[in-house]
Amino acid sequence: MTPDQPSWLYGTEPRRQVVALGFALVLSAVALDYLMSGHLSLFFDLCFITLCLYLAIRVEQSALSLGAMLPPALMLAVLVLLGLAAPQVVARADDAVVQAVVTGLTNHSVALVAGWALALIALEGRRRGVLSSDDR
């Protein structure tokens, strides 16, 4: 990295650390939102979108494909865990796991699409920035 290149072009976190950080942060957002409102609300959605962008910037250059796959995996994993442990957080209390996941995906699809889109845009920007800086 040269001094005239922005530091966000080069992530520093390896694959495993990005996955662990992603799960820790998204579960923290779920816990905070549950404590504040008793269900997943707009707060979780905004945290998820921000988290997707943050992870896309932090992942190292060799793991950009992981950054592209992580947002839907995080959302699905959180919804499955909530469907198993506390379905009332994302759906009705008597809903089965699959129904809770489908309801959660429906209610938070805008956050998933927005977070995923921002992550893909950031990853493509990083890829193009590194490619154009290599041409110098």
CA atoms of 64 and 40, how far apart (whole Å): 29
| Residue 12: other Cβ atoms inside 10 A | 12
* CB distance 15 to 61 below 8 Å: no
List the end-to-end C-alpha distance of the chain, in Å, as a whole number.
12
**Angle between helix 64-85 and 15-37 (nearest 10):** 40
Local structure of 34: helix, strand or coil: helix
Looking at residue 130, what is its pLDDT?
Answer: 67
Per-residue pLDDT of the chain (136 residues; tens, 9 = 90+): 555 556 666 788 899 999 999 999 999 999 999 999 999 999 999 999 999 999 999 999 888 899 999 999 999 999 999 999 999 999 999 999 999 999 999 999 999 999 999 999 999 998 888 666 655 5
CA atoms of 29 and 41, how far apart (whole Å): 10
Residue type, 18: V
Check residue 10 and report its DSSP letter: S
Check residue 96 and report its DSSP letter: -
Looking at residue 9, what is its pLDDT?
Answer: 66
